[in-house]
Amino acid sequence: MIVYNNGVYCPLMQAAASVQDRGYQFGDGVYEVIHYTDHHGVDEDWHLDRLDYSLAQLQIPWPMSPTALKQCIRQVRLKNNLSTVNIYISITRGVPVTRDFAFPKRFCPPVLTIIPYRHKPVSQGLRTKGMTVITAPDLRWGRCDIKAIALLAPSMAKQSATEAGADDVWMVDDQGFITEGSSCNAFMVTQAGEILTRPPSHAILKGITRTRLIALARAAGLRVTERPFAVSELNDAAEAFITRTTGFVIPVTRVDQNPVGLGQAGSVTHNLLSLYETFVQEQKHGHITDTTRFAV
């Protein structure tokens, strides 16, 4: 596997970072994951808009222009001969002269890494059977809107789900409302067919797939309401699902061992997945001219 490592294309095992890198010592950096299908980046520009937001929030300068970054991503895909792939991009503040909790007073160049990961399609069995999730207190920091590389809290949450025999965890705030999954946004569908999901705030990451799906659903005449929903509301839900870059739309059929609705993937979830997959194909073939920018 060939990666881009701070100015050099090299085999993965030869890529390295300084032990003084603030990403290593402080988790001081941001990342993005973009899905490419048949060489097309799904909402690539939106992902780079969100990357720009995360960098700005942490006052980290771009290591290169977005246009140049696109070219580096393209080279990584070509060098690995991967047309369908998930591209991981990380940018850290870099290697300062001295270690300090405050941002370095002297400029140090940010460090850029681009790694390709082979895409593992969601199995048809999971699309039909759905995911099982558990709930757990949300113990993350208060700026989840920044896509930061410091992922220990969601990693621990995902581990708790694994140990419980579940597929993922939905984190819950101290008012009893679901925030999001370990690496996904959470949705539920009421018996009346209303789609609910938490509104953007510092408490969640504003997902690219989430945002696109909401727009597609509303354009199709479906009712989407952005409001927090409580764990207790899932007892009366008709359906639930998640959205994420690497899986699009995946049904959730059990929460804390309790079935959601009929305990199987529902029609609304299937319809939303179809809408999103159609969008991906139309965007790939240039049938959609969307000039909107992604606003966090």
How many alpha carbons lie under 13 Å from residue 211 in its C-beta half-sphere? Answer: 16
- What angle in degrees, to the nearest 10, is found between the helix axes of 208-219 and 267-284? 100
Please count the other Cβ atoms lying within 10 Å of the Cβ belonging to residue 166: 20
- In angstroms, how far is CA 194 from the centroid of its own chain? 24
- 174 Cβ contact partners less than 8 Å away, ≥ 6 residues apart: 137
Active site residues: 147
Query: What gap in Å lies between CA 48 and CA 177, rounded to an integer?
Result: 30
List the alpha helices (DSSP H) in the chain.
22-26, 44-57, 66-79, 124-129, 152-163, 208-219, 267-284
Burial of 172 per CB tally in 10 Å (0-12, 13-18, 19+): middle
**Which amino acid, 237?**
A
CA proximity to 114, closest of 201, 33, 219: 33
Query: What gap in Å lies between CA 115 and CA 113, rounded to an integer?
Result: 7
Contact 244, 207 (CB under 8 A): yes
Query: What gap in Å lies between CA 211 and CA 157, rounded to an integer?
Result: 24
CA proximity to 246, closest of 101, 36, 15, 80: 36
Backbone angles phi, psi at 154, to 5 degrees: -65, -30
Query: What gap in Å lies between CA 252 and CA 171, rounded to an integer?
Result: 14
